[in-house]
């Protein structure tokens, strides 16, 4: 019996003949969402979640004081204070491993040890990047962490038309409606004591509760959850029509070509345009969102990039510039305050027979990454614990053989941390005149075909 008792998926590497004596690198994703995140260290011995607090500003004084009131010990003034807002960041454990028989590995075509290490490292980086992406678009799913949903939250449509006026309305996706920021800056569940203003087909209603469909989920949105919104008053049948937009007062901005009001409203020709990108930049600048190294990042799919290259306004900017780097390379380039970064991981979906693409234009501070400070730590000396390496917050471990023949080692990695979306509710129009009412202001999603 052969000593190379490899799993079936690895048996081709022990073929005889002219098989090349090296492993070639396989296809991999174009990542980049983790680079958006501001890094912070999650301290030890404080539990599994941390609440961070942001300090707001005080509104400017626009009216001069009445001189007749400038009297008494307080000079006619009433003390005021600045507002605060809080967000939570929770820890999660992410890990994987692979075993290697060092004796059997010797009959392979190349070093499987190095290949395992490289594959594990790329898997770890991809895992963190996709977690960053999912938090950015959809919000955190870490147990015990409350947030207001991601940058796709609070923006959905009616899924079941009302036959008569009702205080209950079934919608395609409840993310962004479950929680809201209270007047004192705390994220809490929507309730009669913490209502959320929601615009149904353009009419304002007070949402006082949300019921998820749970296992009966029929949402068409990526990673979405369908459910029912409960209102303090009946929604009119003229508003509760199937497909009508349902948008929270504090929802992040979502831009669609040609003024489409919902994702399902996108039709042929609604491809990404330079006008839409500039619209996203305008919204970020209105909210005074700082740039990332001087520019806003636009993470977009290659399909959206193709639509951008086909856009007439974009082409006019490069008319005659046949040797421009943008058209020759079609990779990362900078234009009009935006850094365009193609990725294979932008959320997509097929809806009504068309493929929806989602770019996101991001400024600084949109995402926070918390790396647990004790990752890789041990109270026991590592003399017999194997090789342990830390790389970019990820711990890579090679465990020595524990079997009787001393042949099988394990190569593992793990990361302990999480991502969070800070809110900017206190940066309202009374503080920044051009600011919007969005709770999440530091990124804008662009949906297109």
Residue 302: Cβ-neighbour burial (10 angstroms; 0-12, 13-18, 19+): middle
pLDDT on residue 336: 80
pLDDT on residue 438: 93
Q: How confident is the model at residue 368 (pLDDT cuts 50, 70, 90)?
A: very high
Encoded tokens for 160: 């079941």
Residue 378 predicted with pLDDT over 80 = no
How far is residue 136's CA from residue 371's CA, in Å, rounded to a whole number? 17
Residue 141 contacts residue 200 (beta carbons within 8 Å): no
H or E stretch covering 214: none
40-49, 174-183, 233-242, 367-376 — which is least confidently predicted? 40-49
Encoded tokens for 148: 């207001």
Q: How confident is the model at residue 109 (pLDDT cuts 50, 70, 90)?
A: low
H or E stretch covering 25: none
pLDDT on residue 439: 92
Encoded tokens for 190: 């929507």
Residue 156 contacts residue 261 (beta carbons within 8 Å): no
Mean pLDDT over 26-45 rounds to 79
pLDDT on residue 329: 55
Residue 77 contacts residue 43 (beta carbons within 8 Å): no
Residue 404 predicted with pLDDT over 70 = yes
pLDDT greater at residue 349 or residue 332: 349
Tell me if residue 125 falls in helix, strand or coil: helix
* Measured CA angle at 279 (ends 141, 260), to 5 deg: 75
Q: How confident is the model at residue 178 (pLDDT cuts 50, 70, 90)?
A: very high
Residue 323 predicted with pLDDT over 70 = no
Residue 33 predicted with pLDDT over 70 = yes
Q: How many CB atoms lie within 10 A of CB 135?
A: 26
Number of helices (H), then strands (E), belonging to the chain: the values are: 5, 23
Q: How confident is the model at residue 229 (pLDDT cuts 50, 70, 90)?
A: very high
DSSP conformation class of 236? P
57-66 pLDDT, tens digit each? 788 888 888 8
Q: Where are the domains of the chain?
A: 30-55+83-150+252-449, 153-249
pLDDT greater at residue 29 or residue 403: 403
Closest C-alpha to 286, from 355, 397, 361, 344: 361
pTM of the predicted model as reported, rounded to 2 decimal places: 0.86
Encoded tokens for 384: 């017999």
Residue 155 predicted with pLDDT over 60 = yes
How far is residue 8's CA from residue 31's CA, in Å, rounded to a whole number? 30
pLDDT greater at residue 190 or residue 425: 190
Q: How confident is the model at residue 158 (pLDDT cuts 50, 70, 90)?
A: very high
Residue 102 predicted with pLDDT over 80 = yes
Give me the helices (H) in 20-111, please.
none
pLDDT on residue 245: 96
pLDDT on residue 9: 67
Residue 400 contacts residue 416 (beta carbons within 8 Å): no
pLDDT on residue 116: 85
Q: How confident is the model at residue 20 (pLDDT cuts 50, 70, 90)?
A: very low
Task: Using the structure block, give the residue that is written with the tokens 């399902």.
Answer: 264
How far is residue 386's CA from residue 332's CA, in Å, rounded to a whole number? 40
pLDDT on residue 107: 63
59-90 pLDDT, tens digit each? 888 888 888 888 888 888 888 888 888 888 88
Residue 3: Cβ-neighbour burial (10 angstroms; 0-12, 13-18, 19+): exposed
Q: How confident is the model at residue 22 (pLDDT cuts 50, 70, 90)?
A: very low
pLDDT on residue 78: 87
Q: How confident is the model at residue 241 (pLDDT cuts 50, 70, 90)?
A: very high
Tell me if residue 279 falls in helix, strand or coil: helix
335-345 pLDDT, tens digit each? 788 898 888 88
Residue 126 predicted with pLDDT over 50 = yes
Q: How confident is the model at residue 26 (pLDDT cuts 50, 70, 90)?
A: low
135-149, 177-191, 281-295 — which is least confidently predicted? 135-149
pLDDT on residue 138: 92
279-291 pLDDT, tens digit each? 999 999 999 999 9
282 — phi, psi (to 5°)? -60, -45
How far is residue 105's CA from residue 7's CA, in Å, rounded to a whole number? 12
Residue 361 contacts residue 296 (beta carbons within 8 Å): yes
Q: How confident is the model at residue 16 (pLDDT cuts 50, 70, 90)?
A: very low
How far is residue 211's CA from residue 189's CA, in Å, rounded to a whole number? 12
Distances (CA, A) of 426 to 57, 99, 150, 179, 183: 7, 51, 18, 17, 10
How far is residue 187's CA from residue 198's CA, in Å, rounded to a whole number? 17
Closest C-alpha to 263, from 203, 229, 222, 310: 222
């Amino acid at each position: 019996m052969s000593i190379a008792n490899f799993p079936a998926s690895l048996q081709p590497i022990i073929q005889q003949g002219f098989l090349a004596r090296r492993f070639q690198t396989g296809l991999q994703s174009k990542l980049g969402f983790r680079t958006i995140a501001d890094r912070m260290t999650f301290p030890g011995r404080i539990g599994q979640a941390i609440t961070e607090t942001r300090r707001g500003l005080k509104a400017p004084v626009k009216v001069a004081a009445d001189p007749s009131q400038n009297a008494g010990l307080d000079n006619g003034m009433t003390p005021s204070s600045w507002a605060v807002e809080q967000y939570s960041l929770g820890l999660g454990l992410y890990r994987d491993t692979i075993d290697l028989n060092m004796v059997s590995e010797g009959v392979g075509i190349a070093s499987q040890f190095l290949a395992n290490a490289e594959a594990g490292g790329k898997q770890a980086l991809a895992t963190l990047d996709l977690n960053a992406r999912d938090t950015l678009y959809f919000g955190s799913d870490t147990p015990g962490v409350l947030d207001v949903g991601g940058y796709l939250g609070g923006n959905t449509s009616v899924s079941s038309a009302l036959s008569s006026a009702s205080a209950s309305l079934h919608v395609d996706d409840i993310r962004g409606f479950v929680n809201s920021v209270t007047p004192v800056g705390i994220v809490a569940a929507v309730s009669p004591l913490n209502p959320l203003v929601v615009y149904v087909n353009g009419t304002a209603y007070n949402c006082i509760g949300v019921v998820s469909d749970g296992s009966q989920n029929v949402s068409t949105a990526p990673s979405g959850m369908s459910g029912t919104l409960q209102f303090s008053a009946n929604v009119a049948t003229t508003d509760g029509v199937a497909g009508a937009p349902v948008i929270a007062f504090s929802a992040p901005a979502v831009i669609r070509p040609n003024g489409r009001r919902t994702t399902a409203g996108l039709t042929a020709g609604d491809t990404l345009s330079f006008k839409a990108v500039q619209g996203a930049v305008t919204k970020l600048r209105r909210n005074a969102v700082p740039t990332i190294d001087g520019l806003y990042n636009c993470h977009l799919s290659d399909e959206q990039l193709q639509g951008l290259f086909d856009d007439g306004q974009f082409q006019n900017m490069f008319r005659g510039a046949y040797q421009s780097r943008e058209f020759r390379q079609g990779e990362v380039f900078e234009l009009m305050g935006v850094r365009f970064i193609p990725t294979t991981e932008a959320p997509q979906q097929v809806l009504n027979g068309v493929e929806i693409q989602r770019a996101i234009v991001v400024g600084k501070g949109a995402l926070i990454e918390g790396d647990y400070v004790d990752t890789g730590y041990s109270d026991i000396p590592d003399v017999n614990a194997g090789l342990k390496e830390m790389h970019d917050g990820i711990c890579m471990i090679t465990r020595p053989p524990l079997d009787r023949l001393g042949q099988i080692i394990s190569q593992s990695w793990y990361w302990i941390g999480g991502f969070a979306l800070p809110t900017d509710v206190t940066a309202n129009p009374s503080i920044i005149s051009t600011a919007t009412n969005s709770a999440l202001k530091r990124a804008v999603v662009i949906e297109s075909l």
